[in-house]
């Protein structure tokens, strides 16, 4: 079944402070909108995503243009905005999940449960049972208690049969609290699936703080990664070697399919390793003639981009070059600068050092150069 999503971001809520509507405010380094869209874009069951924006935001550079989504202008009410989003999808999917942009911590599990609920019902929505006692009050005085059995706190995404929710919205009153109410007015049965207390709706600045704590907790077990790399290239005929992107005049060259930059290869492999993404050979097969003689910064840039795509920045790099000759020391500052430039880092995040192997082994005999590297990746 084709599952699409409508993300409603047309509100102007500024109660959370910061001047901007809350969806454009930063939450642990990314905007709320970006985090919400990423949660849906990363889910394997979700196909098309329609982002409903306030008309004033359509031309702005606030929204994350890089993410896969159709963008439409919303209406004066939430219901009108949802309708505008649904209209884009008419006939394009069987199921639709409608989600508030202000719930950026929605998990893949919650999305899964809503989709599973739609196997047996035309509507399904996540909720958590109310556990606090509920009071009525007037002028700060308790005037009664409310029986909490059977009460739920409603969340999004709320999922529906697409054709049925479009028809329901066509006949709905404009002031419905949410899409479940619209569905129920049209006689659609809505299953309650387990929500998640972390799937909070951000409204106030306290909500931002709580969301930041939850994100830190969620990422805590996988906040930092370490990778190692090791590579060897043998000497052959030539007049220079390329190490960390710097050409060093020498009476021989390094042999290899690409430019044989053994040091840059180890750093690249260390990044792939930290991501559990294999090695250079897997991403750039030596059997592919297009990489013959290739400049190795292509590989390194790819690894850094892949890390960014997985939500990681490079924390630091430490690379050790093992050889008797040529002398590395005088070139180390240029190597660090070049590596930092390629990876978008400061030079003080990149260590390049060299050692001999006391004339022992293949490096000691001057047959080639070995290099090893360690990198840390830090979740952004």
Contact status, residue 53 vs residue 82, Cβ threshold 8 Å: no
How many residues lie near Mg ion (CB under 5 A)? 2
Query: Footprint of Mg ion on residues 205-264 (CB under 5 A)?
Result: 231
Rounded to a whole number of angstroms, the minimum distance from the CB of residue 233 to Mg ion is: 6
Rounded to a whole number of angstroms, the minimum distance from the CB of residue 179 to Mg ion is: 55
Which position has the token pair 């004066």?
76
CA dist 157 and 244 (Å) reads: 48
Contact status, residue 211 vs residue 217, Cβ threshold 8 Å: no
- Mapped onto helix, strand or coil, the DSSP state of residue 107 is coil
Comparing CB distances to Mg ion, the nearer of 25 and 265 is: 265
CB-nearest residue to Mg ion: 265
* Helical axes 297-309 vs 332-343, angle rounded to 10°: 40
Comparing CB distances to Mg ion, the nearer of 122 and 231 is: 231
Comparing CB distances to Mg ion, the nearer of 179 and 231 is: 231
Contact status, residue 320 vs residue 354, Cβ threshold 8 Å: yes
Site string for Mg ion, 46-65 (x = CB under 5 A): --------------------
CA distances to 64, 202, 209, 234, 287 from 23, in Å = 11, 9, 15, 54, 47
Rounded to a whole number of angstroms, the minimum distance from the CB of residue 369 to Mg ion is: 10
Rounded to a whole number of angstroms, the minimum distance from the CB of residue 231 to Mg ion is: 4
Comparing CB distances to Mg ion, the nearer of 208 and 291 is: 291
Encoded tokens for 301: 């840039």
Q: Which of 25, 113, 121, 265 binds Mg ion (CB under 5 A)?
A: 265
Comparing CB distances to Mg ion, the nearer of 51 and 373 is: 373
Sign of CA dihedral 165, 170, 176, 177: positive
CA dist 28 and 235 (Å) reads: 48
Rounded to a whole number of angstroms, the minimum distance from the CB of residue 377 to Mg ion is: 21
Comparing CB distances to Mg ion, the nearer of 350 and 371 is: 371
Q: Which residues contact 139 (CB under 8 A, 6 or more apart)?
A: none
Rounded to a whole number of angstroms, the minimum distance from the CB of residue 256 to Mg ion is: 6
Residues that bind Mg ion (CB under 5 A): 231, 265
């Amino acid at each position: 079944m084709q599952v699409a999503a409508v993300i409603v971001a047309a509100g102007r809520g500024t109660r959370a402070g910061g001047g901007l509507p809350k969806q454009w405010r930063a939450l642990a380094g990314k905007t709320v909108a970006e985090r919400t869209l990423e949660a849906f874009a990363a889910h394997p069951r979700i196909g098309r995503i329609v982002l409903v924006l306030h008309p004033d935001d359509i031309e702005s550079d606030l929204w994350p243009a890089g993410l896969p989504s159709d963008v439409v202008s919303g209406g004066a009410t939430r219901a009108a905005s949802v309708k505008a989003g649904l209209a884009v999808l008419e006939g394009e999917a069987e199921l639709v999940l409608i989600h508030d942009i202000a719930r950026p911590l929605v998990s893949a599990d919650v999305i899964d449960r809503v989709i599973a609920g739609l196997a047996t019902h035309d509507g399904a929505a996540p909720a958590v049972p109310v556990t606090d006692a509920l009071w009525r009050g007037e002028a700060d005085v308790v005037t009664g208690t409310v029986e909490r059995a059977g009460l739920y706190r409603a969340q999004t995404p709320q999922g529906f049969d697409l054709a049925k929710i479009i028809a329901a919205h066509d006949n709905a009153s404009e002031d419905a609290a949410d899409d479940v109410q619209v569905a129920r007015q049209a006689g659609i049965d809505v299953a309650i699936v387990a929500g998640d207390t972390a799937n909070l709706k951000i409204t106030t600045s306290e909500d931002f703080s709580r969301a930041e704590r939850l994100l830190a907790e969620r990422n805590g077990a996988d906040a930092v990664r370490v990778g190692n790399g090791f590579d060897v290239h043998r000497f052959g005929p030539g007049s220079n070697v390329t190490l960390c992107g710097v050409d060093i005049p020498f009476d021989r060259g390094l042999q290899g399919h690409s430019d044989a930059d053994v040091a840059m290869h180890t750093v690249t492999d260390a990044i792939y390793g930290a991501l559990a993404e294999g090695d250079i050979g897997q991403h750039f097969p030596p059997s592919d003639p297009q990489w013959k003689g290739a400049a190795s910064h292509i590989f390194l840039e790819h690894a850094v981009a892949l890390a960014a795509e997985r939500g990681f920045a490079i924390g630091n790099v430490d690379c050790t070059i093992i050889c008797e000759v040529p002398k590395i020391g005088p070139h180390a500052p240029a190597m660090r600068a070049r590596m930092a430039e390629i990876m978008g880092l400061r030079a003080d995040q990149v260590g390049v050092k060299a050692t001999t192997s006391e004339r022992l082994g293949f490096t000691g005999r001057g047959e080639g150069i070995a290099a090893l590297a360690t990198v840390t990746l830090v979740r952004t």
